Amino acid sequence: MLFLLIAVAAAVAVWWWRSTENPGGGTTSSLSTTELLALLTDTAREVNARANTMVDAETRLVNAEAGLGPRLT
């Protein structure tokens, strides 16, 4: 859950940064609401995939220790 909170905060920070003027001069392309939602969705999917990978690894370890699956080498 903490990873998701950090990821959302990072996505919002990127959106805000890209929505403001470039301090060095010139203009930046602003990030639309649709692009923000796409960024948040992609971030949530990545966080979920990483969490699932960690859970799968932990499950394999517990099963191996209990003798319920292939042994870890």
Provide DSSP, 45-68.
Answer: HHHHHHHHHHHHHHHHHHHHHTTS
Kindly report the length of the chain. 73
pLDDT digit string (tens) for 16-52? 776 665 555 555 556 677 877 888 888 888 888 888 8
> How confident is the model at residue 16, as a pLDDT?
73
Per the structure block, which two tokens stand in for 52?
């699932």
Which pLDDT score is estimated for 39? 81
* Domain residue extents for the chain: 2-19+30-65
Tokens of residue 7, six digits: 């990821």
pTM, two decimals, is 0.49
